[in-house]
């Protein structure tokens, strides 16, 4: 990554559906047809039982705040500290994300607070799922 250039993820054959979904405004996770486990990140087999009988499904987009830090390690173009968070989806899997529409402070970012997915266009190929407080911004 060149200095100052925005980092952009590059999908692989196993993850392309996820990024295509995000571009459409859908958060896609996967579920095993044999053991029913929901999982993330994407792969064409179940990490719980090894079965290849898996399907892609749209997540509800509801989540809770599992843990985070407020990073003061800023990239070019960033001016203020921001939270790097891990959220727990309603279906069970966890994912890293940012929390938007919310002050980036310990007072506003409370563990287990309800969140909902939102999407941010990153560049012409990538749209990133992010999360915001459920039911609108908090004070």
Partner 1 sequence: MKPKSIAIVGAAETTKLGVVPEMSELMLHADAALNAMADAGLGPSDIDGVATAGPWPTDVAHYLGITPSWVDGTMVGGCSFMLHVRHAAAAINEGLCNTVLVTHGESGRSRVGARGFGGGGATSLVGQFEQPYGIMGPTTMFTIPALRYCKEYDVGIEKLANVAVVQREWAHQNPRASLQDLTSLDEVMNARMIAWPFTKPMCCLVTDGGGALILTRADRARDFPQKPTYILGTGESVETPLVSQMEDFTTSRAFRVSGQKAFAESGVSHADVDHLMIYDAFAHLPIYGLEDLGFCERGEGADFIWERNTAPGGKLPVNTNGGGLSYMHSGMYGMYALQEGVRQIRGVAPAQISDVKISVVHGVGGMFGASGTIILGNEAP
Whole-angstrom Cα distance, residue 43 to residue 53? 11
Q: Which two tokens stand for residue 118?
A: 């939102």
- Could you say which of 37, 126, 132, 134 contacts partner 1 (CB under 8 A)? 126
**Residue/partner pairs of 110-114 with CB below 8 Å, 24 or more apart:** 110/65, 111/65, 111/66, 111/67, 112/64, 112/65, 112/66, 113/64, 113/65, 113/138, 114/62, 114/63, 114/64
Of 6-14, 23-31, 55-63, the segment contacting partner 1 by CB under 8 A is: 6-14
**Contact set for partner 1, span 12-41 (CB under 8 A):** 12, 15, 19, 40-41
Nearest to 41 by CA among 4, 93, 87, 91: 93
Q: Binding pattern to partner 1, positions 69-108, x when CB under 8 A?
A: xxxxx-x--x--xx-xxx-------xxxxx-------x--
Residue 114 binds partner 1 (CB under 8 A): no
List interacting residues with partner 1 (CB under 8 A).
1, 7-12, 15, 19, 40-41, 66-73, 75, 78, 81-82, 84-86, 94-98, 106, 111-112, 122, 126, 128
């Amino acid at each position: 990554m060149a200095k100052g250039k925005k980092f952009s993820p590059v999908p692989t054959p196993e993850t392309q559906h996820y990024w295509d979904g995000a571009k459409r405004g859908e958060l896609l996770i996967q579920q095993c047809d044999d053991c029913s486990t929901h999982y993330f990140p994407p792969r064409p087999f179940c990490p719980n039982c090894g079965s290849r009988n898996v399907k892609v499904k749209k997540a509800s987009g509801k989540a809770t705040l599992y843990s985070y830090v407020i990073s003061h390690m800023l990239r070019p173009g960033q001016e203020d500290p921001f939270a790097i968070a891990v959220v727990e989806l309603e279906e069970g899997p966890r994912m890293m994300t940012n929390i938007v529409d919310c002050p980036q402070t310990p007072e506003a970012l409370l563990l287990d607070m309800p969140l909902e997915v939102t999407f941010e266009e990153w560049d012409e190929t990538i749209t990133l799922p992010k999360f915001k407080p459920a039911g609108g911004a908090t004070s």
